[in-house]
Structure 1
Amino acid sequence: MFTEAQLYSPVTRTGDGDVTVHLSTEHPGVHDPAYRARRNAIAACALEYTSGAPTPRIAYTEAEEQVWRTVSIELARKHRGLASAEVLAAARRLALPTDHIPQLDEISAALTPLTGFRYVPAAGLVPLREFFGSFADRIFHSTQYIRHHSAPLYTPEPDAIHEIIGHATQLASPRFAAIYEAAGAAVARLRTDAALKFLADVFWFSLEFGVLREHGEIRCYGAGLLSSYGEIDEFRRAELRPLDVFAMGTGVYDITHYQPILFCAESMSEIEDVIGAFFESMDDETPLRARHLPTHANVPVAQ
C-alpha cells in the first residue's frame, strides 16, 4: 500500500500566514528550535511560489552546505560500484556540484537541455494526482530543505538530497525521463483513487526502489536507493523478484525499514518494456486486468 503521506512532515498555514512544519517526535531536528524555524521559513517560500514565477532561491547556511558536501561525496563513491550504467551516464551529464547545494533553478537549467524536465518548489507532500500528473508536462515538485546536521547520512523524510541526487539524476536520462512522462500521462486517464494508488505503488517499486542486473551484478536505479547512504548498502541482501506489475501495484511494505523485497529487471530495456509500457497503457481497469495476468512474483531471482 502506498504510504507516501507518512514520509513528509505535515505543513500548516494559519489565517495570519504563519507556516509550521510539524516534525515527528523521532525527527533528529525536533528539539532544535533553530532547525524548526528554518524548516518553517523554507516551507513558507515554497507555499508562496506560483506557477511561472521565478523559483525561490534559498540562502543555505554553512551547516546545510556541509551536510550536502558530506552526503554527495559519500553517495558518489557508492554509486560508482552500485548504481546502474544508465544512472552513472546520467550523473555525468548532470554534473551535480559536490561543494554546494544547487538551487532548483540551477537543476532546471541543467535538466531542461537534457530531457526537458524542470523543478518547482514544494513545501512537503504534494497531492498524488498533482505530483505524478505534472510529469506529463515534465515538471518535478521538489522540496528544498536539508536534513538535520546531527545525522547527515540519515533522514526520516525526503529532502533536497533525495529529490536532487535521487530523482534529478534519473531525470537526466532520456530513457528514465520518458518513463516519468508516461506515468504523468497515465494520471490524466485515471478517475479512481484505487487506480492512482496502484500507479503510485508500481512507481515506488520501480523508479524509487528498482534494481536491475548488469554483467552478472545487481545494480540500483531507484531514486530511493540512490539517495540513501544506508539502504544502498543493503539492497543486494533483499529478496529479488522478477518484474511483476500486479505484485508491485498491490505490494505491502514498511517505509521505516530497509526494503526486504525488491523487483529486479534483467536490463534497462526490460524496465522500458514492462514499467514504461504499463504506464503508457494504464487506465482505471488496469488493476483488475493485471490480477488475471500470469505472475512470477513468488519466484525469487537468483542472486
Structure 2
Amino acid sequence: MFEEAQLYAPVTRSETGEATVHLDHDHPGASDPEYRARRNALATLAMEWQPGDPIPVAPYTDAEHEVWRVVCRELHRLHERHASALYLDGKQRLRLPEDHIPQLSEVNQRLRPLTGFGYVPAAGLVPLLQFYGSLADGVFHSTQYVRHHSVPLYTPEPDVLHEVVGHGNCLAHDRFARVYRSAGEAARRVETEEALEFISKVFWFSLEFGVLREKGEVRSYGAGLLSSYGEIQQVADADLRPLDVARMGVQTYDITHYQPILFCAEGFGEVENVVGGFFDEVDDDLVQRLAHAASTPA
C-alpha cells in the first residue's frame, strides 16, 4: 500500500515531454523495468492527448491481457453473488470483452449508444473539478494502465479494470448515468473547495463504495467495490449506516484499507432520491448547512 495514501501514483513530465510515473517502493510493479516503461509511455500518451483527437492505443502485453482475463473471470462469479441488479443489467448491456483488455475507443463504441457516456485518457490523478465536472458532459477520465501481472487480484491504485469494469458497467445503465451526470453538474455549480470536497465524499460513499438492500440481501453498486476482488467480499464486515448525505460528506476514509464504514440504501430508488437529489440541489450554502448539522451532537 502507498505510505502516503496516494490514490494515484504521482506523474511528472520532463522538458522533452516524456512522463514518469513515480511508483511507491512497495508497488507490485516497482522493480519491473518493463512495466514501469509501459506506465511511463501510457502516461505520456495521455498527457499528449487533446480533446477531439483519437483515443491513444495502449500497448498491452500478453501478460496484461491475461490479468484482464483472470480478474474478469473471478469478478464475474462475485458479481453474480454480490452486485446489485441494476449493475448486472448494465453489465449485460455493455457486454465488455473478457478475453482481452479493450481499448478505450472500443469501450466508447459500446457505451456511447447506450447512455451517451464516453471515456477519455488520463495519466493519473485528474483535478477534482475537471474530473467531476466532465461527468456533466458524459465524459469519464480513465487511466489505461493495468495492474501488475504478479498480483492480478490486487491493485494499490485505480487501473483500467476499475475504470471500465467498475464504472463502465454502471455508466451503461440510464439510471446510473443520470446520477453521474448530476454529480458533474453539482461540481460545476459550487464555488468553494470545501463544497467540492463535500461532493467528492458523497460520490465516494455512493458511486464508488455504495451498497444497498435487495430482496433482503446487501448488494454492491459502487464501482470501487465492484472492481475489487477482495473488498466486495468484505462488505458484510463493514459498519453499515443509513444513507445520509450530511454524514457522507464529512466522513473521513483511508484508501489504503477496506472501508470500515459504508452507507446502505434501501434500494437504488433511494440512491436516486437522496444522493441524486443532493447532487441536483446542492450549492455552497447547502453544504455549509449539512456540514454544520453533521458536526452538531444529536
| Alignment TM-score, normalising by the size of structure 1 | 0.94
Matched letter for residue 6 of structure 1:
Q
Partner of 2:213: 213
Query: How far does the alpha carbon of each residue in 1:11-47 deviate from its partner, in whole angstroms, 9 at most, with x for none?
Result: 1111122210000111001111111111001111111
CA-to-partner distance for each residue in 1:185-217, whole Å, 9 max, x for gaps? 111111110000000000000000000000000
SS of 1:288's partner is: helix
User: 1:270-281 residue pairs with structure 2 within 5 A?
Assistant: 270-281=270-281
Aligned to 1:224: 224
The residue identity in structure 2 corresponding to 1:50 is Q
Q: Which amino acid aligns with 1:21?
A: V
Structure 1 residue aligned with 2:164: 164
Residue number in structure 2 paired with 1:174: 174
Equivalent pair of 2:5/2:256 in contact (CA under 8 Å): no
User: Is the contact between residue 86 and residue 173 of structure 2 (CA under 8 Å) also seen in structure 1?
Assistant: yes
The Cα shift of 1:132 comes to 0.2
**Paired residue secondary structure (2:146):** coil
Q: Please name the residue that 1:100 is paired with.
A: 100
Q: Distance in 2 between matches of 1:62 and 1:129?
A: 36
Q: Name 2:65's counterpart in structure 1.
A: 65
Which stretch has the larger CA shift, 10-19 or 200-209? 10-19
Does residue 44 of structure 1 match 2:38?
Answer: no
SS at match of 1:81: helix
Residue 12 of structure 2 aligns to a residue in which SS? strand
1:142 aligns with 2:139: no
Residue 107 of structure 1 deviates from its aligned partner by 1.0
The one-letter code matched in structure 1 to 2:42 is I
Q: Contact 2:250/2:294 (CA < 8 Å) preserved in 1?
A: no
Report if aligned partners of 2:19, 2:41 keep a CA contact under 8 Å in 1: yes
Q: 1:117-136, aligned counterparts within 5 Å?
A: 117-136=117-136
CA distance in 2, matches of 1:259, 1:196: 21
Q: Deviation of residue 5 (structure 1)?
A: 8.1
Q: CA deviation at 1:294?
A: 8.4
User: 2: distance between equivalents of 1:87 and 1:18?
Assistant: 38
Tell me, yes or no, if structure 1 residue 76 matches structure 2 residue 93: no
CA distance in 2, matches of 1:156, 1:40: 17
Q: Is residue 129–residue 187 contact of structure 2 (8 Å, CA) maintained in 1?
A: yes
**Structural RMSD (CA):** 1.6
Give the distance between the partners of 1:80 and 1:95, measured in 2 at CA.
15
Matched AA of 1:14: S
CA 290–31 in structure 1, closer or farther in 2 if over 3 Å, else same: same
Select between 196-205 and 25-34 the one with higher mean Cα deviation. Answer: 25-34
CA separation of 1:144 and 1:70: change in aligned 2, threshold 3 A: same
**Equivalent pair of 2:250/2:291 in contact (CA under 8 Å):** no
Aligned to 2:253, what secondary structure does the other structure show? coil
8 Å contact kept, 2:241–2:262: yes
Deviation at 1:289, TM superposition (A): 1.7
**8 Å contact 1:5–1:125 — kept in the other structure?**
no
Q: Count the aligned residue pairs.
A: 294
Q: Which digits, 9 at most, give the CA deviation of each residue in 1:245-301, with x for residues without a partner?
A: 011000011111111110000011000000000000011112222146589x99xxx
Q: Which amino acid aligns with 2:171?
A: L
Q: What percent of counterpart residues are identical?
A: 60
Specify the alignment match of 2:252 in structure 1: 252
Residues 99 and 46 from structure 1, CA distance in 2 versus in 1: closer, same or farther, beyond 3 angstroms? same
